[in-house]
Amino acid sequence: MTQRRPLIAGNWKMNCLRADGLELVSALVAKTAEKGSLGCDVLVCPPATLLSDVVNAAQNSAVGVGGQDCHAETSGAHTGDVAAAMLADIGAGYVLVGHSERRADHDESSTVIRRKAIAAHDAGLIAVVCVGETEQERDLGATLSVVNGQVAVSVPDGATAKNTVIAYEPVWAIGTGRTASVAEVAEVHAAIRAELVERFEDGDEFRILYGGSVKPSNAAELLAVADVDGALVGGASLKVDDFWKIIETCA
């Protein structure tokens, strides 16, 4: 059985002003330093306005920093967008691509997300490729076909376990307080693993995160599921004590 080091990632979304973000990351850095050896990798993805400050605050610590999105092009007339190379230039090591809120709010297709993942790889970033079905798709029994289709198109051929992480986030469980059952999570993660193993030589080494109302009260149960290699945490990552409790489940 391949040993995959868990990753606990916090997606701050469009939250935190500078003082809040610095307080949050500084407290997290202090906790990781006090703990010493961690049982997982730790990542925070702040808004673009805070990236530079958070990178500086987390420097030489166990806390990694990533962007929440990047453009598929390296430069050009794309007002309001950020290139993957720009994220890498200020010290980010990861970037989320294909989050359901990007897919829904900005009409991003899996084809666009694949191009963003390629741009991330070209810039030396680890792409966290997000996939997940809507409530309607689940109710129609289309979960596996939707998720596997997203993985097939969104994850580029050049992906490896070193430059790519998959995050499964059922859309109906994001920010709703509703969490997928252990059986539902296990089924989807097993399907994603099978897709990766069939397509990539190191498919068994890719980390697959679960996201969707992950909190201290359910983290241990979710992280114990086969092929769940960590969590992509939303609201709970904005409270350092809650986020830390999730991290500690990997100890």
Pairwise CA distance, residues 187 & 235, whole Å: 25
Per-residue model confidence (pLDDT) at position 177: 77
Q: What is the DSSP letter of 125?
A: P
- Mean of per-residue pLDDT scores for the chain: 96
pLDDT per residue as tens digits for the range 40-69: 999 999 999 999 999 999 999 999 999 999
Q: Band the pLDDT of 144: cuts 50, 70, 90.
A: very high
Beta-carbon contacts of residue 251 (< 8 Å; ≥ 6 apart):
38, 39
Per-residue model confidence (pLDDT) at position 29: 98
Average pLDDT of span 107-132: 98
pTM: 0.96
pLDDT per residue as tens digits for the range 166-200: 999 999 888 777 778 999 999 999 999 999 999 99
Domains and CATH numbers, the chain: 7-54+63-72+80-248 (3.20.20.70)
Would you please indicate which residues are annotated as catalytic (active-site) residues? 99, 169
Query: Residues 94, 106, 70, CA angle at the centre, nearest 5°?
Result: 25
